[in-house]
Amino acid sequence: MGIGTVGSGVFSVLQRNQSEIVRRAGRGIEIAMVADLDTARAQAAVGPAVQVVSDARAVIANSDIDIVIELIGGYGIAKQLVLEAIEAGKHVVTANKALLAVHGSEIFAAASRKGVMVGFEAAVAGGIPIIKSLREGLSANRIQWIAGIINGTTNFILSEMRDKGLDFDVVLKQAQALGYAEADPTFDIEGVDAAHKAALMSAMAFGVPVQFDKAYVEGIAQLGAQDIKYAEQLGYRIKLLGITKKTDKGIELRVHPTLVPNKRLIANVEGAMNAVMVHGDAVGTTLYYGKGAGSEPTASAVIADLIDIARLHNADPAQRVPHLAFQPDAMSNMPVLSMGEVVTSYYLRLKVADEAGVLANVTSILAKAGISIDAVLQREADEVGGEGATQTDLIILTHDCVEAKMNEALGQMQVLKTVLATIVRIRKEELA
């Protein structure tokens, strides 16, 4: 259902690698029918031998079909069709992270009731088998945290900004021209797409429901080239990370620009590539890297799900891996923490008057809030006004503190007369 970029990739990889797939799976996988509103485009993609229809319900009604692949996207008709396919006893494979992040609980519950599988490897980090690694490969572990570059558009933009010292707006236009960013890039640059994926990984890591609505989401549109430069001078790179952590108090679930030490592998993931770090209590830190989008990388994940389902479609449900890694009756109700409760460290940039006592004022506010300082950098004063008055960039790296404390301290610093502009605050993760 839906044969655009990814659907065409699924079709052509299945054709090209059919004999290899049969050698692995012990059986073939055949595209029996394609539904797309644009039947002409669809027929061109699959050739004359495959039946193309405009009505997706013809696929669902076709009793020869075992598995329905949903590649329409979005929460609208896709949700309805997926639920109808499940109701008709079909297994479903989808790349639709938005749908699952918002309606996952309902869809997985329906699938469990009907005894069918919903495969969604393609929904997170494209071709990287991160869902299989989380659900199966690391199943011995208590997962402690996940941090990932899970949106290629924003990583491309951040890589270019750093590489060429360009501003966000300029690079966004380039990315759109190159096809790395959509005409309406909101979901990507505002962090929504990354939050969809982070919410799915959080559920699989910790055995909680998919809670996209509780995620803290901050994008990269406000990020300045100078902060990328200062971060670099301090030994860090800025990446848009999807982060989820388990703490004693609850679960952190957040997407925001993040300083990462430049010696970490993930700090060196460039361009549109994706990478996910997973830290488990037994295995320690692991990392998974590859293409997070595109026709064939996404098709690779869709077809891996098809092969898994082909193997297990008539198995006892107990022989299948639970959709969200944990048995549906063993989910935890551990709360997702508000951003004020999150503990992390910070990069702060204050534009301050270049006069005595400024650093003392700022640091005493942090000290009173119990926030300790890791590093301070003061950078070349720019002349402003005619009276020889100057201003300076003051960059502070802090140690870990609760975000509510930091918000309070920021409020106090912001009203200092010597602080001349809105303070820039970027979170920092050591990811050790």
Q: Which is nearer to a copy of itself, 162 or 256 (CB)?
A: 162
Structure tokens at 55: 């009505």
The candidate with the shortest Cα–Cα distance to 321, out of 97, 134, 55, 170, is 134
Interatomic CA distance for residues 10 and 299, integer angstroms? 5
Of 12-20, 349-357, 380-388, 393-401: span binding a copy of itself (CB under 8 A):
12-20
Of 102-110, 308-316, 347-355, 418-426: span binding a copy of itself (CB under 8 A):
308-316
Catalytic choice (197, 214, 246, 428) = 197
List, in sequence order, every beta strand (DSSP E) within 297-418: 343-353, 373-383, 390-398, 401-402
Find how far residue 160's CA is from the centre of its chain.
19
Per-residue x/- mask for a copy of itself, residues 97 to 126, rule CB under 8 A?
A: ------------------------x-----
Strand partners, 378: 394
Measured from the CB of residue 304, what is the shortest distance to a copy of itself in angstroms?
5
Among 4, 17, 144, 226, binds a copy of itself (CB under 8 A): 17
Q: Which is nearer to a copy of itself, 10 or 52 (CB)?
A: 10
Dihedral (Cα; 381, 414, 168, 228), 10-degree rounding: 60
Residue type (1 letter), 120: F
Measured from the CB of residue 139, what is the shortest distance to a copy of itself in angstroms?
5
Pairing of strands 390-398, 236-246: unpaired
Told to judge if 197 belongs to the known catalytic residues of this protein, a careful annotator would answer yes
Asked whether position 344 contacts a copy of itself by CB under 8 A, the answer is: no
Q: Which is nearer to a copy of itself, 125 or 231 (CB)?
A: 125
Give the H or E element holding residue 219. Answer: none
Per residue, what are the HEC states of 346-374?
EEEEEEEECCCCHHHHHHHHHHHCCCCEE
Asked whether position 210 contacts a copy of itself by CB under 8 A, the answer is: no
Among 319, 333, 380, 386, binds a copy of itself (CB under 8 A): 319
Contact 322, 118 (CB under 8 A): no
Asked whether position 393 contacts a copy of itself by CB under 8 A, the answer is: no
Asked whether position 9 contacts a copy of itself by CB under 8 A, the answer is: yes
- By CB under 8 A, the residues from 19 to 48 that bind a copy of itself are 20-26
Asked whether position 63 contacts a copy of itself by CB under 8 A, the answer is: no
Asked whether position 299 contacts a copy of itself by CB under 8 A, the answer is: yes
Contact 292, 126 (CB under 8 A): yes
Asked whether position 303 contacts a copy of itself by CB under 8 A, the answer is: yes
Interatomic CA distance for residues 426 and 258, integer angstroms? 6
DSSP 121: G
Among 141, 144, 247, 390, binds a copy of itself (CB under 8 A): 141
Measured from the CB of residue 36, what is the shortest distance to a copy of itself in angstroms?
21
The candidate with the shortest Cα–Cα distance to 244, out of 185, 197, 299, 193, is 197
Asked whether position 286 contacts a copy of itself by CB under 8 A, the answer is: yes
Contact 103, 118 (CB under 8 A): no
Asked whether position 133 contacts a copy of itself by CB under 8 A, the answer is: yes
The phi, psi pair for 177, rounded to 5°, reads -65, -35
- By CB under 8 A, the residues from 264 to 283 that bind a copy of itself are 265, 268-269, 280-283
Which residue numbers are catalytic?
Answer: 197
Q: Which residues contact a copy of itself by CB under 8 A?
A: 9, 13-14, 16-17, 20-26, 121, 127-129, 132-133, 136-142, 207, 263, 265, 268-269, 280-291, 296-297, 299-304, 306-308, 311-312, 315-316, 318-322, 325-327, 330
